[in-house]
Chains A and B, each alone.
Chain A
Amino acid sequence: MSEQDTIISTFGTAYREVAVGKIAILGKDTPLRLECGIDISSFPLAYQTYGKLNAQKSNAILVCHGLTGDQYAASTHPVTEKPGWWESIIGLGKPLDTDRFFIIATNVIGGCMGSFGPKSTNPATGKPYGLDFPVVTIADMVRAQALLIDYLQIDQLFCVLGGSMGGMVTLTWAALYPERVFSAVAIATSARHSAQNIAFHEIGRQSIMVDPDWCNGRYYDERKFPVKGLSVARMAAHVTYLSESAMHRKFGRTLQDREQVSFGFEADFQVESYLRHQGATFVERFDANSYFYITRAMDYFDLTENGGLKSYFVNSKVRFLVISFSSDWLFPPSESRLIVRALNAVAANVSFADITTDKGHDAFLLDVPEFFVNLSGFINGAANARGI
């Protein structure tokens, strides 16, 4: 297989086959040692690029996705056929201007959009790995991405950025490869996953596990799919991405397709119907086992142990921007302030803005003008300093 070949993957309850774009085969010469101790070699990493790499190779930006995101940051998603998840940020004349920058977006390992994950075939059995897939960490995801950056022959990324889990990936890049990162933007994120967030992830995983169609992770072999479990997981998670006031503004107590309540347990309220829809569409694009692996990677994430967060950033030359959103209760501003304090404590080059909005955690994916102003300003300032 040549490295530019597209890979075919299956999606949803019908195991629909979809081509998921460019992949690179990494770790061919030297295997990648995962934190759990397992070596992986010749594994695929799926990615998309936007814009052109300049002659000096100084304008590359790595965009890191959240829990259920993927490499389709700024182009139509082949499964959902919806626009990319960050088209508000990436494109001509946008904060990440494709006329000026070369944007790389990858699907993390453990994912289900073509990268090495639990849906990949286990050569030992000829069947998908399922739960035999090794547990991966955020650092493993970053080391795999670093192999892709080697493969693209780029020494230093001009910027690494991402929100939520993408922010964890970004911080880890700056911690592990400070010399390969000129600037880093960590949005709506944390230096360690909180007890509350681990708790929400556990609710999600448990709701999948109790679905009989999950088959202990071997649902692929029986052509089943834990539709109910995965959609409940998504419904619960979706609530955490919004804020109380945004939800009330959007739905209030409006009834769905009826004049009065049914005195039953149909989706009487619009908000119920909305959540059911979110769950139902999610299962058509995302793999239940990937949900296990990626939530676990986030749960294990903690840059504050072993000498503390600041120990990673002593003498760091990376220019940081940290952004939080006032109504985000999943990754509240206080979590971002912890990061900023650690960076201040080592006199690192850091900017921080707490954006006032009622859009909750999802604000980083939405149209929030103050967010764009800060991001554009930082990127332009850094690009001028880098001579791009």
Chain B
Amino acid sequence: MQLRPSLQAIADLVPEGSKVLDIGCGDGELLKWLTKEKHVDGRGLELGQSGVNACIAEGLAVVQGDADTDLQYYPSRAYDYVILSQTLQTMRDPKEVLINLVRIGHRAIVSVPNFGYWKNRLYLMFFGRMPVTKTLTYQWYDTPNIHFCTLSDFVHLCNLMHIVIEKRVYTDDQGSLSCLKGKNIFANVLSDEGIFLLKEKLLL
């Protein structure tokens, strides 16, 4: 079973046998892989009926619900890793969701599409219209992505909220950009997506 490159980059951050909550788990592709290959104790949360059906049909423990409203009911530190893949930009209140992620999990893994990717910048500059690309496939009027940000914006928000970024992975449509590491200043232009390993800063 082969994962999509961006999911593989997330999966690589999850240790064997950990307890994982995948928020917005879709049809369960990542959860299934993690359960099978890394023997994680996995749970999911998914809004869409067809995704939930697919997950439960695979024997995955997935709850139909809305991350915007349901995360508050999850207990603190109940999971080793909480994953939010390509979903933050669809949340009504991304800040609240981030607070919940680092509260529920000892670590959170968040991947966000980079609106500052060079292809998006060129699209906007030359066509003067909202970018529609291989990764941003929607028109502005039908997109579920209501809170786009650039990677710099995301890092800025984490700093504001005192969330510690322990690791950053950058990808484009070919997979991991291993040439870009840490706080690379070109990442906000060169990478299509950023994957961040986060944890709550404990104020002693």
Q: Tell me whether A41 is interfacial, beta carbon within 8 Å.
A: no
Q: Which of A120-128, A270-278, A281-289, A380-388 has 4 or more CB atoms under 8 Å from chain B?
A: A380-388
B59 near A352: Cβ-Cβ < 8 Å: no
- Distance in Å: Cβ of B113 to nearest Cβ of chain A: 28
B49 near A352: Cβ-Cβ < 8 Å: no
Q: Tell me whether A345 is interfacial, beta carbon within 8 Å.
A: yes
B56 near A378: Cβ-Cβ < 8 Å: yes
Q: Tell me whether A373 is interfacial, beta carbon within 8 Å.
A: yes
B58 near A353: Cβ-Cβ < 8 Å: no
A370 near B53: Cβ-Cβ < 8 Å: yes
Q: Tell me whether B62 is interfacial, beta carbon within 8 Å.
A: yes
Q: Tell me whether B43 is interfacial, beta carbon within 8 Å.
A: yes
- Distance in Å: Cβ of A354 to nearest Cβ of chain B: 5
Total interface residues on A, CB under 8 Å, equals 28
- Bound-complex Cα distance A179 to B95 (A): 40
The chain A residue sitting closest to B49, CB to CB, is A356
Q: Which of B74-82, B122-130, B170-178, B194-202 has 4 or more CB atoms under 8 Å from chain A?
A: B74-82
The chain A residue sitting closest to B50, CB to CB, is A370
- The 8 Å CB contact of B53, one of A347, A353, A381, A382, is A353
A347 near B79: Cβ-Cβ < 8 Å: yes
Interface residues of A in 332-388 (CB under 8 A from B): 337, 340-341, 344-347, 349-356, 370, 373-374, 376-378, 380-382, 384-385
A370 near B49: Cβ-Cβ < 8 Å: yes
The chain A residue sitting closest to B74, CB to CB, is A344
B78 near A377: Cβ-Cβ < 8 Å: no
The chain B residue sitting closest to A346, CB to CB, is B75
- Distance in Å: Cβ of B153 to nearest Cβ of chain A: 31
- Distance in Å: Cβ of A331 to nearest Cβ of chain B: 16
> Given A351-B63, A374-B52, A378-B56, 19 more contacts at CB 8 Å?
A319-B61, A321-B56, A337-B65, A340-B65, A341-B70, A344-B73, A347-B19, A347-B43, A347-B79, A351-B60, A351-B62, A352-B64, A353-B56, A354-B64, A355-B49, A373-B53, A377-B58, A381-B56, A381-B60
List 25 interface pairs A-B (beta carbons < 8 Å), by A numbering.
Answer: A321-B56, A344-B63, A344-B75, A345-B73, A345-B75, A347-B78, A349-B43, A349-B61, A350-B61, A350-B63, A351-B62, A352-B62, A352-B65, A353-B49, A353-B52, A354-B49, A355-B49, A373-B57, A374-B52, A374-B57, A377-B56, A377-B59, A381-B59, A381-B60, A384-B59
